[in-house]
Amino acid sequence: MTVGGWRYPAGMSKPSVNRPAASQRLRRIAILVDEPDPGQFYWVLHESTEDATVWLDLQSSEATFPSWLAAHDAGNKELLRMVRDKKTGPLAAGEDENTSPVG
């Protein structure tokens, strides 16, 4: 079986994943590590808006970390805490196509 240009080995099928409802979309969240002073690293979670050039701060660490990697790992742990289902990732409710338009 070939999916997305990748060929599954014989006897292996495409993994089954429960897809979210059509009214939900995957949130675009990124982890940024900032070093405002030498050796003081902070993680920041950013989320993209409808305008892909605009990112908003969601959360940031209050404490500093001794390295970029330590800050990144701590930010990743916080992001994972925000996710209910690790198979689908962080989801946001979208517009319900079945509701009546306002106006």
Q: Looking at residue 74, what DSSP letter applies?
A: H
Mean pLDDT of 11-23: 52
**Helical segments of the chain, H only:** 68-82
| Helix and strand element counts for the chain (H, E) | 1, 7
23: pLDDT strictly greater than 50: yes
Rounded distance, CA 32 to CA 8, Å? 35
Q: What is the pLDDT of residues 34-49, one digit of tens each?
A: 999 999 999 999 999 8
The alpha carbons of the chain give a radius of gyration, in whole angstroms, of 19
Residue 100 identity (one-letter amino acid): S
pTM for the predicted model, two decimal places = 0.64
Q: Which of 55-59, 68-72, 81-85 has the highest mean pLDDT?
A: 68-72
74, 34 in Cβ contact below 8 A? no
